[in-house]
Chains A and B, each alone.
Chain A
Amino acid sequence: MIEYILNIAIISVYPFLFIGIINKIKAFWGGREGASVFQPLYDFIKLLKKGEVISSTTSFIFNITPSLNLAAVLFAGLFVPLINQKAIISFEGDFILFAYILALSRFFSIISAMDTGSSFEGMGASREVSFSTLVEPAFFITIASIAALSGVNSFQNLSLILQNTGETGYLIIILSIVVIFMMILVEGCRVPVDDPNTHLELTMVHEVMILDNSGPDLALINYANSLKMILFSSLIANLMIPAGATLLNASICFTGIVLFLAILIGTIESGTARYRMTRLFEFIFLMSSVSLLILALTMIAIYESPVGVIK
């Protein structure tokens, strides 16, 4: 029971802190004091209190999308194990529903951007849909390989790989973390895929899609987006935390890993420039190649390893 309460607490608090820490780190590397780590939360509350300006071109789609987006991401959060490898709901094939419900939220954010009739938002929508299309196979290859290895067709107990496979297991975990981390950068729209702080609409991906959103709707979109990053981070955390850890240890490790990821993202953003739009495909294909490597290692682990065949 206490796990569920902790999970709900994580879903509601961590997303704001995550962005806050990234910004703090960026300020640190930039030699600035930076805003408080709670600033995203203050912004969220401020936006909720405001009114809205709605484009006269738009229809009901623009109206419902921010709420639907958040509902979809929260719903996806039900299947992701957070603390202590426990998801709120877990069943066979839950990661398929996870990926598809996120696709639903992407579908609506794209048509909502197109709903405004703005050429800039169309551009953002076109980019978002092109890049995310190619991310999908990499994610599925990774997850299917892990499922084949651990013998569990759900997000729950990801770290069973460690118990079931020998040294190859560690390698597979490391590579899976690489894939999922790259997914955080793509899905969370961070450098080098997308720059959340850019000032020119022509170079944006995610930010330009929400140009016309304001007030509470913008707050919901921002929250949903950072929650998505937390969900992917927790996948990474659960690959690393061993299954037998006590609740306290698992919580500390979880928080530590998420904190580390935030620091890493902030450092990457300070240290690298974003890629040229046409080169992003290469970045995404790097993900696919790593995922194919995971598949190859899975084959080795199942058919060659001294530990023998699972099941």
Chain B
Amino acid sequence: MNAPDTALLQQQAPTATGVSRFHESARAQVAGAATYVDDIPEVRGTLHAAPVCSPVAHGRLSGFDTAAALALPGVRAFVSAADVPGDPLLAAFGHDEPVFAQDTVQFLGQAMGLIVADDVMTARRAARLVKPRIDALPPVLTVHEAHERKSYVLPPVHVARGDAAAALARAPHTLDGEFEVGGQEHFYLEGQIAYALPLEQDQWWIHSSTQHPGEVQHWVAHALGIPNHAVTVECRRMGGGFGGKETQAGHLAVWAALAARKTGRPVKLRLDRDDDFMLTGKRHPFAYRYRVGFDDSGRLSGLRIAMLANCGFSADLSGPVADRAIFHCDNAYFLEDVAIDSFRCKTNTQSHTAFRGFGGPQGVIAIERILGDIARHLDIDPLQVRLRNLYGVGERDQTHYDMTVEDNILEPLMTTLARTSGYEERRAAICAFNARSPVIKKGIAITPVKFGISFTATLFNQAGALVHVYTDGSVMVNHGGTEMGQGLNTKVAQIVADELGVPFERVIATAADTSKVPNASATAASSGTDLNGRAAQFAARHVRDNLAAFVAGLDGCGAGAVRFVNGEVITPKSARRFEDVVHAAYANRIQLWSDGFYRTPKIHYDKVTMKGRPFYYFAYGAAVSEVAIDTLTGESRVLAVDILHDVGHSINPAIDIGQIEGGFIQGMGWLTTEQLVWNDKGYLQTHAPSTYKIPTAGDLPPRWNIALWPEANREDNVHGSKAVGEPPFMLAISVYEALRDAVAQAGGDPEAMHAPGTAEEVLRALGG
């Protein structure tokens, strides 16, 4: 590029942030040169492992016949619970999950051991030759059965505000309802994988595709019975996470490490896609029962709701997931008198886990469904019913967990979107269309989202980072977050570049590594940039302050007068190139690297009473979806989507829009084609993309408009931005509500429709 162009570019983009920088790995990714764990050149002697999985959902395990497996040429070892030197239970949240099944098997697919072999196909073939001795026991497979037996992974939780019973008793109208919402497989394109390398002196290096290297480190150390400092976990990037690599990645790392310990060789464990489906947890399926009261205008006056979360066989993250469903069953609406019962049901299925939204979607869909039904019941436009129930500003602004909603933009956001999307005219057009179309019927819905940002466990809201400035002026940033495609490293590099006033290209972000930044929280809860971006900003600021003091000394000005812009360090007297300043500072023994640490302010939360301010702020958005259904087959298409979403002041608009679009389409999949089917033996029948259908390019709605809300975060967050990973997922609930609208307009019973709204489910609701 020639000089004038460079100048022009800089003029257009004086800062690194606020600009749609390409993903830091984009060029490597499109060239096939971005390295994922399975692409790392293998160390000589590497062996490969495959899991031995339970063939039944519940049973007593008394041993294995491994003769046939071990006789297969190339097979090196069978690894089972007997080979765990440390705690045979994983260091998980509930401490209720065995490393390998011991004595009992608790779901079909549970890992009972591993086969280790010279190559992966031999390991997989041999794993199926291991014959476990199991006396089958009756499994519990549904939440209803579990609830009836009081089979829970954690005790029930009750949250109430006001007097729901009294409010319901005096409500002019009441509705009772029951419905179910299915789970969801993450379907990260890169399956779960770990590569464990034994180092000297009982130390370990683990390459893991994980959202939480610190937890992997802790789990591996715990299972091996060694201190955390003996284990280093590294993750350059994941091929998608979506919550599925928050705890689930730990299992693989522990297994690979145990196999490596037993064989004394490096061991790689890459799950076959079908095994990945069978072994790992998914989004929690939920069942609901409710009674809601409301007045003639559709305003809520009392809600009693029971939420049954299907947690699978162990607690994993089910407690906080079910909690977040409680926090979000208000979504955008003021629930004055409310009583919520949350049951964390234990079933003999995969242990369900974090998934984008983390229980939020399961809470939001409940109230959106209820409001849709109220609108139909009163024959009022559902938008009006929703608007009438929104949180107020300065009144009706207290959540059921006692947090005041201080940054409410719901009403202007929804009315703006309704106007720009032509919601009212299109609703009228749809009614006219439906009147003349005998087979295809359309529906439309607008739904908002208000999503609380912060880990509800306050302690996780901390982060650290390291910024290194090298003597040539190049900058490296390392932080505790992980890159799973969401663009975290890009945003962090942008933040650091602006803090140091250097071009974006001067900064690289490196692999998450527990030996660099310790004790990092999971990259989850949409908090990656909020936490790590701020920590990196502070780290860079420390270096900048050192340089400013140094230059101020040279020029005899105050350090506050030194500016860092466009790759230059400018004082009232001079302008120097950043690299020249760095070089001189190094020669004068100035520290050119620093750490940074951030903890989220203002938040506090009492886990016992479930009251407080668990969230620093809320992210908002709304979507209008229009769908068509085929009343002969129940098939559907999403025809049009308009989104207005609040990301605060965007650090990278392209990345934020990417999160909004991707989150929406993923949510659309959850509520339409993505159906998990377990048979009556507890066997997950949809265990591959041939049977489990995530959206394709052909499912992208023909009309697709995304806009960003033009206002910075009202709380002091990094560069005025807001978190964006999870909130847009829930915008897709507008698709589900539009489907139910179409069902209603076709004369069917939308209250009979569960989620996902598969073709079969839609036809069932139509009475077909």
Q: Do chains A and B interact in one complex?
A: no
